[in-house]
Structure 1
Amino acid sequence: MPGLRPQFGGERQRLHAVRAPLPPAALRPVGMSGPSGTRPYLIRRLAALLVGTVIACAALLTAYYGVSRNSPAVDGRTTPAIVEVAAAETSLEASFTAAKAGLTGPAGPVEGAGEEYRAQLNAANQALEQAAMSTVAGDDGQQTLRTASGLVSSYGYLIQQAVRSGTDGVLRDAYVAAARSTLLRPESGIVDRLEAVQAAQRGVLGQQVSFGRLLALAWTVAFVLCGGLVWLLIDTQRMLRRRFRRRVNPALAAGTALLTALVLSLTVLAVQIQRQLHAAAERIEHDRTHGGIDAGTLHWVNAALRGTQWRAAATGWIALTGALIAALVLIGLQPRIDEYRFRHQGPARPADSPVSALLGVGARTQPVTAAVLAFWLVTIGGMAYGDRQDEHRSRVTVLASWSGPEKQRFEKVLKAFSSGTHRAISVSYQGTTALREVLLSRERTGDPPDIAILPSRGEAADYAARKVLTPLDGVLPKSTLDAYGPQWTSRTGGRVYAVPVKADLKSIAWYDAAAPPRDLTALAADGAHWCAGMGGDDTSGWPGTDWIEDILLQQSGTRAYEQLANGGLKWDSDVVARAWRTFGSVFTAGPARTALAEDYTQGLFHSAGPGACALEHQGTFIRSGYPQDRHADFVPTPRLLPGADPRSTAREVSADYAALLHDSPQARELMRFLTTDEAQRVWSEPDQDRPGNPFRPFFPFFPGRPPLSFPNDEQLNAHIDRELRGASALCLDASDSMPPRMRFAFQHGVLDYLSAPGPRKLSQVLRDLESVRKGIAPRGDRVCGGS
């Protein structure tokens, strides 16, 4: 037995030789300087792997989220929003078809518009309500849908008026035409508004299904970073195999495999989601161009995207897998680091923090790790913030009656406001000719615009009496309010509730300046030569009220005119009846029927041939709708109207009033801006691409201002300015100064009278108007004043 001792001793020595690490100088990686350098090297490698895991997983999360987040958005919001708007549009068009068929059918006088019309109208209202809540077209799209909802009320009112006029085919058809105009009027009609929202929503859908450059860059960065992390894991494996003579580190190998599997699986899932999103968008576009979008479209898209729900949930895998990879890295490297726990000679280093102890990283790597973790948090927070970036912006909504070029001109004023010292305030504008219906609808649903540009002082007074408006005494400077004077402001109880922002000259007749008629007076005596369309959505008939008011002003003077506006003059009085008879002498049966069938926009230059009209009785705003290559001029109506004093210089004018409905600091700022010289300068400046500036507004409510100067290509505007300054009296539009109830009755009376112009119909119309006047208390507002 003693002889065996040396053998055991030699075996023990051989075992120690096998188990002992190789000399550091033989196998140390770059940066190692013996055992004392191995532990710092491993700590740095551990920190690099942990930081790399955080960065790679953050990049992968960003890239995958960019694809996966669009799936529930397309399925749960964008497609339903598109379907709701399409359903509203389809139902409205079907309702008009049903109403027209019912009203003109043999049972029209009994059944009216019919049950199908009512069912389709109710369906349209419900679809619009849902669309306004779910639209992806942003705040502007939501405002447009709310305006459209108000226009639907106007459309329904016109159909009701057509039903009431069922036995009078001419008047019934006039209301049906007005309803059709409300529905289909270019740009400002309900259908075009819905199409604008739909275009915006399809744009959002296109962005959601698009694999754009930013998303491609995100995936490229994610692949590069994940590839770099895989390389770092494999390189660490090689280093450990050389240093510790172990073929495989199971934890690091598992982490490498897990990361590779994660990248591959997420890539496959992202491709599948993207294909399904494209399929959904293609189906929506196909249905839009082949029969229309409906509930079947929504069902197909829901079925197509059903499998994307669990794929989108895979974003949760990334953080979990990243944490697991980090844990495997710690498991793989921490034991190797622990094998080199020894005390260095030299100055003592700071003790590791608890976080360092937990992660196994030194104090020198903490700033890097902290910076990367902060970057990850900022990245994820930025992704969440990007979806809600517009939610807290200050926004002011404005509702007015302007559309087309007038709208574009006013939007320049609003842009000047937002791009100046008020960059933090954005303005959303909605224009509609059925302003009252839209405004009432939004007010009653608790969603009024911040500012409304009202077309009349009487309407402003009505809203002020119902406590809808905010007094402007504390909003606008006293010097500004005093400059307007009592004629131009809407006052109730001694307080100012609305101020004009622009005005238009009336009491004029337009003609083609390139081929002026030889005898305007003779031409004007025949209504067939007048462009006098009465259509104007729910305000249809207002061009006729302008005629009668102007005739009364030129025949009987400012006193009778002001009495009519304030409710102090009977409708069946001699002077008023005379004005109506003069109107009827021009618009006899043929011209009256034409006027009822046409819209007010079908005016001068909009027709050609032997039957084209040559004169138009309209305010100066109408010139903005004339073709750019045509030249118009005007003559004051006292020279043309039968029984008028040709020497009269009294002129009817209209004004648009700004009123504050929803009081906020931002809305107050815009109200103040609209009354400044800067706003009026922007409003008046000429367009670079169109000579003559046919959109220039006028501001006669500041009589103390010096005369305007006009360039050579604005001689027409200079003519308008001379008429305004040379008028002995400027009288605000009489019907605009009336309470809304009286004004609407006046407009309907015009349409009723033109359906059968003659003494019998006139007596009936005046009797009806007088019965309305008796139910309204007279007012003492100043309507006429010196220029």
Structure 2
Amino acid sequence: MTATRVRLVRLRAGLLALTLVVLVVSMWAFHRVQNAAETVRDRTSQAVLEVTAARAALVAADAAAVASFASGEARLAGPGQEYSNQLALASQSLARVAEFNQAGAPGGNGLQVVESQVAAYSGSIGQADVHFRQLDAAVLGAADLWHASRLLHAPGGVLDELELLQDKQREALATQLSSTGVSLAMLPLWLLPILALLGLLVHTQLYLRKRFRRMANVPLLAATVLIAAIGVALVFTVVSRDRLDSVGERLDAVAEARNTQIQAADEAGQLRLADLLTEFCDREQGCGVTVDEFRAKARQATTVATDNTRVATAGAKAVAADASGAAETGGREYLIPAGTLLAGGLVLLGLHSRIDEYRYRP
């Protein structure tokens, strides 16, 4: 076997080995990023948004119920249509959270606690409605309303549990992003096999041109173009992973806007509840230490009510757009394997005739 044929065989083996490495690395990176992107798009980001929506809806429902009882409308229309609508929205959001839950068993257990507390809250509002309709039982109605409000606002209540669940879902998102093992900072490392293969392809073509005095080897040239395209596809894959970080940032912005909206609405509702309770308290003895402290705290609220609905809505749309953009494949699931395998076939084709020329040479 001549030295030329040995070198050609070695070049072929090296090219095919690197092609296989490129295929494995590229597909591994693509699937890791794609799985994370689809999970974030379809489940995790939705879970975080639905938890914040449930919190906002419950606070709005509570404020609407208090307003109805305080104004006297409850004697005609009960807690009111706004209360019913917001409670229905909260229930729908909690159902979606259960569907999208990414926090595992702790998230599921917390959700069960929340659902049972919401049911108890709804029951207390219903009892308050019955008592407020009876002129001689309005005090009991106020007590029921106070109890219902404590189910939401007391330490360990519904709002605390939902905030804890929101944090768990956000942690699940951070874990999913960090577990991909792919990042923009590591892009040179991921491109290393592709660059090595491109370098070997160029070296092989220069060697063939020098040894056989031909302008170009078309199959190897086509293989070079394909591998370069695989490199571009891998860059887009890593950039897609980097876009997932913006999803987390936008989710935090939405949560902040929601929190401001929730706090303002909550303080307004709690202040109105404090005023309502004052009507039924003994002027000399008060309502008791717990209620008196609540009334004092409610009157100290300083949050300025601002309309963050548009900010939260726009933020939620931006989250969906970023998550969808990160999960968009652009056909890379077909380009990477098909292009790499075709490049391997072109390597075999491009070197076959050259190697075959030296098959029978001594």
Q: TM-score range by the shorter chain?
A: 0.7 to 0.9
Task: Look up the equivalent residue of 1:330 and give its one-letter code.
Answer: L
Aligned to 1:221: 189
Aligned to 1:194: 162
Aligned to 1:335: 353
1:52 Cα deviation after fit: 0.8
Task: Look up the equivalent residue of 2:321 and give its one-letter code.
Answer: A
Q: Is 1:284–2:302 an aligned residue pair?
A: no
CA distance in 1, matches of 2:228, 2:4: 28
Q: Helix, strand or coil: the match of 2:49?
A: helix
Matches within 5 A, 1:15-34: none
Of 120, 130, 153, which aligns to 1:164? 130
Q: Deviations over 1:24-44 (max 9, x none)?
A: xxxxxxxxxxx4454444333
CA distance in 1, matches of 2:125, 2:236: 56
CA distance in 2, matches of 1:246, 1:79: 57
1:220 Cα deviation after fit: 3.8
8 Å contact 1:71–1:312 — kept in the other structure?
Answer: no
1:306 Cα deviation after fit: 4.6
Change in 2 beyond 3 A, CA 1:213/1:314: closer
1:128 Cα deviation after fit: 0.8
Aligned to 2:101: 135
Q: Is 1:250–2:218 an aligned residue pair?
A: yes
Q: Deviations over 1:595-651 (max 9, x none)?
A: xxxxxxxxxxxxxxxxxxxxxxxxxxxxxxxxxxxxxxxxxxxxxxxxxxxxxxxxx
8 Å contact 1:283–1:297 — kept in the other structure?
Answer: yes
Greater strand content: 1
Aligned to 1:183: 152
Gaps of 5+ in 1: 1-34, 345-787
1:191 Cα deviation after fit: 1.2
Change in 2 beyond 3 A, CA 1:193/1:201: same
Q: Is 1:49–2:15 an aligned residue pair?
A: yes
Q: Is 1:99–2:68 an aligned residue pair?
A: no
Q: Helix, strand or coil: the match of 1:246?
A: coil
Task: Look up the equivalent residue of 1:198 and give its one-letter code.
Answer: Q
Matches within 5 A, 1:204-219: 204-208=172-176, 215=183, 219=187
Paired-residue identity, %: 31
Q: Deviations over 1:274-329 (max 9, x none)?
A: 56434433332222212458554333333345544544642331111111110110
CA distance in 1, matches of 2:182, 2:324: 26
Matches within 5 A, 1:362-441: none
Matches within 5 A, 1:280-319: 280-291=247-258, 295-311=313-329, 313-319=331-337
8 Å contact 1:68–1:312 — kept in the other structure?
Answer: no
Q: Helix, strand or coil: the match of 2:215?
A: coil
Aligned to 1:27: none
Aligned to 1:705: none
CA distance in 1, matches of 2:325, 2:124: 48
8 Å contact 1:64–1:315 — kept in the other structure?
Answer: yes
Q: Deviations over 1:59-87 (max 9, x none)?
A: 12333444444433333322222222122
Of 249, 264, 278, which aligns to 2:232? 264
Change in 2 beyond 3 A, CA 1:244/1:236: same
Q: Helix, strand or coil: the match of 1:113?
A: coil
CA distance in 2, matches of 1:289, 1:69: 28
Change in 2 beyond 3 A, CA 1:310/1:133: closer
8 Å contact 1:209–1:281 — kept in the other structure?
Answer: no
CA distance in 2, matches of 1:41, 1:84: 62
CA distance in 1, matches of 2:102, 2:157: 21
TM-score (norm 2): 0.75
CA distance in 1, matches of 2:313, 2:241: 23
Work out which structure has the larger RCO, using CA pairs closer than 8 Å and 6 or more positions apart in sequence: 2
8 Å contact 1:132–1:146 — kept in the other structure?
Answer: no
Matches within 5 A, 1:436-451: none
Task: Look up the equivalent residue of 1:133 and give its one-letter code.
Answer: E
Task: Look up the equivalent residue of 2:202 and give its one-letter code.
Answer: I
Aligned to 2:85: 119
Q: Is 1:150–2:116 an aligned residue pair?
A: yes
TM-score (norm 1): 0.36
1:333 Cα deviation after fit: 0.9
CA distance in 1, matches of 2:184, 2:45: 25
> What RMSD, in angstroms, separates the aligned Cα atoms of the two structures?
2.8
Task: Look up the equivalent residue of 1:284 and give its one-letter code.
Answer: L
Task: Look up the equivalent residue of 1:258 and give its one-letter code.
Answer: L
CA distance in 2, matches of 1:275, 1:38: 46
CA distance in 1, matches of 2:115, 2:317: 26
